Every structure is written in C-alpha cells, then in structure tokens.
Amino acid sequence: MADLNTLNTSEVGWRFDNSYVKLQKTLFSYQKPVPVRAPSMAILNDRLAESLGLNVSALSNQERADIFAGNIIPEGASPIAQAYAGHQFGNFTMLGDGRAVLIGEHLTPSGTRVDIQLKGSGQTQFSRRGDGRAALGPMLREYIISEAMHALNIPTTRSLAVVATGEPVIREALQPGAILTRVAASHIRVGTFQYVAALNDVLVLKALADYTIDRHYPELDQTGGIYPAFLAAMMERQAALIVKWQQVGFIHGVMNTDNMAISGETIDYGPCAFMDIYDPETVFSSIDRNGRYAYGNQPQIAQWNIARFAEAILPLLHSDQDHAISIAEETINRFPDIFKQHWLIGMRAKLGLFNEEAEDSMLAESLLAWMQEHQADYTNTFRALSADKRPQLNDGVLIDWHARWQARLARQEIPKYEVYRSMKLHSPAIIPRNHRVEEVLEAAVERDDLSVMHRLLAAINNPFEERDEYDYYSLPPAKNVQKYQTYCGT
Ligand code: AMP
Ligand code: MG
C-alpha cells in the first residue's frame, strides 16, 4: 500500500456528490471495498480519465493501483453495495452487489453525474456463497467490449481501469484476481425496482422512481401521468439500444432483469460476444443451454424484461390496479412496433437508403436471409457492400438482391460516394472478434503481456475506419475452429 500520509487524493480531481445514499437505507448498505494484498495496474483508460476531469498523471503507478483497487478510498467517496433483485434465466431472486461497491457519484467537468464502481472489490452482505472477487481475464474482457461498444456509438457503461489484485481467485482453475473500475450513468436496474416491489413498500418505490426520473428522464411529457410516461420512455430507450446491438451483431449473453440498466446503457459484460457468421440462433454463453438469450431472441427478451419493470412499478401507474394493468399492457404491446421502427431506421442507414420505400424492410430481410443461408460474415458483408463490392460468395440469389438494391439506390438520387460514405459510418470494419479477444486475454493472463491488448484497443477505438494495419482484426476466424464459447466463471 502507498503511504497514506503522502498521498493527496484531492489532486486527482474527484468531485464526489453522492445522491443515492440519501434514499431509504433499504436500497443499499454502507460497504467499503475489502483491501487486496498487492495491487498493480493492468490498464488505465487515459482518455476516459481525462474526460472525467481526473488527473492521474499526478500519481505514481502504485498510488493509482491503490486507488483503483479500493485500498485507498478517495476523499468524498461514500462506498455502498446496492440492493437489487432479478429474474435470472426467468427465475426471480433477491440479489444485490455481491462483488462490487459503488464508491460514489462523480461530477465530470461538464456536470454529468456518473457512478464510479469497483467490480471485484470483495464480499458484501449480498455475496451469498460468492467470494466477492473477479478474475483478470473477465475484467479485461469487460474493458475491451465496453470500450468497443462506446466506440461503436452504443450507450454503455465504460471501463476506467483494471487492477490486478496480487491475489488468486478460485474458478474452474486458479486465476489471477482483478478489480475493474466501471463508470456508469447509474447502476439502477430493472432489478432494483423489482427488489423494492418485493418489499411491498410503495413509499420507497415512489422515491426510487422519482430519483431515477430526475436522474435519467428529467424531460418526460407528463400529460398522461409521469409514471406511465417513465415506462414508455424507458421502453423506447431499451428498444433503441437493442436495435443498436442487433445492428453490430452484439450478443449480451445474460439479459437477466438485473443486467438491464434503466438509463438505457448496456451493462454487465459477462459471457457476451460479437457474432461472426450471421445466424439469429447464435449463443456463446456456456450457461445458456436453451438459447434464451440468443441473438434473435434479444428483442423479445427486452420486452419481457420491460414487462417485469412495468409490474414492479404497477402501483405507481394508477391507483386502480385494473387500470394500472391496462396502462402497462397497452404500453408493452407497442414494443414490437417501436422496435421495428428503430430497426428500419438502422437498416436503411446500413444499406445507404436516405429516403423511405415500402419494400425497404423486405430488402434488408432478404439480405439477412441470404447471409444466414450462406454463413456469411455479418460485419464483413455490410462492409463489402459499403465499399461497392459484392460479398465474395457470388450466387444467383445474391446477384439478384444486389441488382434490386442498386436499383433502389438509383431511385433516391444521392451520389454513390455519399451513399457509401454514409454506409461506412453505420457498419464497422472492426469489432472485437472473439478469436482476437482470446489472443489478448491469453497474452495478458498467461504471459503478463498487455501489448496485445493495447494493439486491439487501438484498432477498436476507430471501428469505422479501414486501415491496412488493422486488417488483422477484420479477418473472421477460420471456419473449422471449434464453436466459440464464453464462460460465466467471471
Ligand atoms: P452477474 O452474473 O455478474 O450479473 O452477477 C449476478 C449476481 O451474482 C450479482 O448479484 C453479483 O453480485 C453476484 N455475483 C457474481 N459473482 C460473484 C462473486 N464472485 N461473489 C459474490 N457475488 C457474485
Ligand atoms: Mg449483473
């Protein structure tokens, strides 16, 4: 540990302003991170630190490691473990931060409020049988994928740092332990509302809803009542988010209700992954045996989760229960249409369509059907189209589709260079492909070599740019490699 007397954490630039702790105590418990033996920095996100107004260059490497390990609590922080519940693969459970603490809420130079959370910070009262810890591989994985999502313009929690704890954790095998510093709009989940609903305390429910509205939905149109508007706006954000996932081939892997943030950010990167070959049935998670969270199911699961959210806030929707239920149902039933609207907007962008024609949806769907049938690479197919190249595998169906698409483009009277330029902004050249992420983790965990990770991060930070030096990252895996699996031993 660094010498506490000589470390002035105020120089770092933290501006803590902790509002969640002003809510009822049933929502959290005060909980300091459990110190670790020998913390050392694995990676620090300098650009994110800077945008948060943090001056980490004032600190030695050891001081950074002590802060991001939770061995030193910065001034103004007020560490808590948050209570929540959740439907995990459909089964309701009372949960809570079992291996994370919210250090506090930091105000950025632009005045934005963000949660600073340490994940892997030791046991809390919500740990159940868990050790409260996290392994290095999965924390680096969350860092990579969340930063990739951010670069892809997808709302997400961010990753500020990963510290190796110098302590082993026991998973399938012994693994080096690590702590991730996560930055989020907030950690309020569908499951947070479910937790309060299970307590049957309408006062706390109302306080939590008002707090969340104030923090994430301050501009609701209140004509039909503020809480129905909250539900509708929350649903709209989730629909927009899931469309963004679908359009880059992102599979969350564990869309439990405790892993859906009310803010509309992607949260809790566990067994998530990007698909290579287009197939709606793609599942990577080893624990998702029935494919509940398969790529093609993500929209329906989002709707299911939103229905659980609506149930949780039912007493707020209307004082008459039947009326409240009809408000909830009426709202949730609109999900498929809202999703479809967002999906079409996104697909038009990916196909370079600047105006609307009735056949656009069919045009997009028939391309996807072709990709599925021919096991085409999702990312590279769109990227090839945006480079005015026909995807490699040439067959009659694709030639016919391509001709229809070209005719459609010709009708909109937008110059081709404009079309392709725009398409390239909506279809990345580079995603963190599983086989490349595995190389990074292998180097970092087995050989203590973070250089492979830095190279990957440089590529995924500019995902829409095509550069020869990054060709390595747009290569799909060899077709004969074993089917990729992500493990939840996180
Ligand atoms: P996750 O799969 O990360 O979304 O976690 C689901 C729940 O299990 C959350 O309540 C976590 O806090 C808890 N959890 C996961 N891993 C551990 C662990 N190693 N120790 C204690 N709690 C854990
Ligand atoms: Mg979770």
Query: Which class for 340: exposed (0-12), middle (13-18), buried (19 or more C-beta within 10 A)?
Result: middle
Mean pLDDT of the chain: 95
Res 98: pLDDT: 98
pTM: 0.96
Query: Is the minimum distance from the CB of 97 to ligand 1 under 6 angstroms?
Result: yes
Residue 28 backbone dihedrals phi, psi, to 5 degrees: -165, 170
27 — pLDDT class (breaks 50, 70, 90): very high
Distances (CA, A) of 175 to 142, 397, 426, 434: 16, 49, 38, 20
Distance CA 53, CA 196 (A): 34
Atom of ligand 1 nearest to the CA of 84: 10
pLDDT tens per residue, range 104-127: 999 999 999 999 999 999 999 999
Cβ partners under 8 Å of residue 306, min gap 6: 190, 231, 234, 235, 238, 332, 335
More confident of the two residues 224 and 301 = 301
Contact 331, 225 (CB under 8 A): no
Over residues 353-358, the mean pLDDT reads 98
- Burial code (b: 16+ CB inside 10 Å, e: under 16) for 108-140 equals eeeeebbbbbbbbbbbbebbeeeebbbbbbbbb
Res 208: pLDDT: 98
Closest CA to 428 of 149, 62, 69: 149
Rounded to the nearest 5 degrees, what angle is found at the Cα of 241, between the Cα atoms of 162 and 455?
35
Distance CA 357, CA 361 (A): 9
Helix (H, G, I), strand (E, B) or coil at 194: helix
5 — pLDDT class (breaks 50, 70, 90): very low
Query: Is the minimum distance from the CB of 99 to ligand 1 under 6 angstroms?
Result: yes
303 has a pLDDT exceeding 60: yes
Distance CA 52, CA 114 (A): 9
For residue 262, how far is its CA from the centre of ligand 2 (angstroms)?
13
pLDDT tens per residue, range 130-163: 999 999 999 999 999 999 999 999 999 999 999 9
Over residues 396-418, the mean pLDDT reads 95
Res 442: pLDDT: 97
Nearest residue (by CA) to ligand 1, atom 13, is 98
Query: Is the minimum distance from the CB of 260 to ligand 1 under 6 angstroms?
Result: no
Q: Which residues are designated catalytic? A: 258
Res 480: pLDDT: 63
Q: Which residue has the tokens 């006062």?
A: 203
Res 485: pLDDT: 79
Query: Is the minimum distance from the CB of 114 to ligand 1 under 6 angstroms?
Result: no
Any idea where the domains of the chain sit in the sequence?
4-184, 220-433+475-490, 434-474
